[in-house]
Amino acid sequence: MRYNWSIDEIEALFALPFNDLMFRAQQTHRAHFDANEVQLSTLLSIKTGGCPEDCKYCPQSARYNTDVESDLLMKKEQVIAAAKTAKEKGASRFCIGAAWREPKGRAFELVCDMISEIKAMDMEACATLGMLTPEQAARLKASGLDYYNHNLDSDPEYYKEIISTRTYDERLDTLKHVRANGMSICCGGIVGMGESRRHRAGLVTQLARMNPHPESVPINMLVKVAGTPVAEDTQFADDLDPFEFIRTIAVARITMPASHVRLSAGREAMSEQMQALCFLAGANSIFYGEKLLTTDNQDANHDQMLFEKLGLRPMQNPVPSSRRMVNA
């Protein structure tokens, strides 16, 4: 396993002939995972809207005029009922998200209670709640949290074009607190925000230099929501070419061989053929269900039919074969 990738090396992977890149990604994938298994995760927004930050892609920001309304924290009973439904439909991981800059007070304790009950259902628990202090990370670990999601969004250079209210180092600090308390990391980014290929390579470089690598790496295709700057400003007008997105999946797989690479936001607009190429490139995790935090996702029945066409099946053991052998 490598943790010393340079941005030039990763940009060279992006530049490979498409067939060569796919072949290398598939070889890497098969060395660490069953190539026909895909992890199914379900994501629920437990506190929507009203976020004070200015992420230009986010319809939950209070700074933008979008159709997303600000809601209070969901009741625990509602969250647990949603988790049970997700498990019945085949999800092995349940992720909860709250539109906060950072969790505070009684609301944070309520979320910890939710996590404990999700774990009691024999599901993996994941949360994304904003920035964490070391003490909050320790509390989440004590409640049984398996994964904490905190995306880098972009590389350090392009990041300033997207967000000004939270620094890149603050994101890295939260990830350090999560790691220090023994939890796994879910960390990726968003592509298609007007960045260059080198910026995309820079994002992958940041992730691939982490030791250990993030256990879960969500690769999001930008979803332009009316009212957000990415939907209104000409800087973000050009859509990312689908093959460039597939290349990003493949490069993530090659550089982080034992991580779950998640085909994440934007999948609702992808054709079956594009999704199939993403799976061939090494994606082996998806969000399963009709809604992400606020944006639409593929219909669950449609996913089942696509899995049948491709001969894919839900992953039963979320630990890659390479790590199972190491831990045996």
Catalytic machinery residues: 51, 55, 58, 95, 126, 186, 262
Whether the CB-CB separation of 293 and 273 falls below 8 Å is answered with no
What is d(CA 100, CA 136) in angstroms, rounded to the nearest whole number?
Answer: 14
DSSP for 123-148 reads -EEEEE-S---HHHHHHHHHTT--EE
Q: Which amino acid is at 61?
A: S
Q: Which two tokens stand for residue 82?
A: 């949603």
By the 10 Å C-beta count (0-12 exposed, 13-18 middle, 19+ buried), 226 is classed as exposed
By the 10 Å C-beta count (0-12 exposed, 13-18 middle, 19+ buried), 311 is classed as exposed
- Which residues are registered as beta bridge partners of 325? none
Q: Which amino acid is at 305?
A: M
Q: Which amino acid is at 227?
A: G
What is d(CA 42, CA 93) in angstroms, rounded to the nearest whole number?
Answer: 6
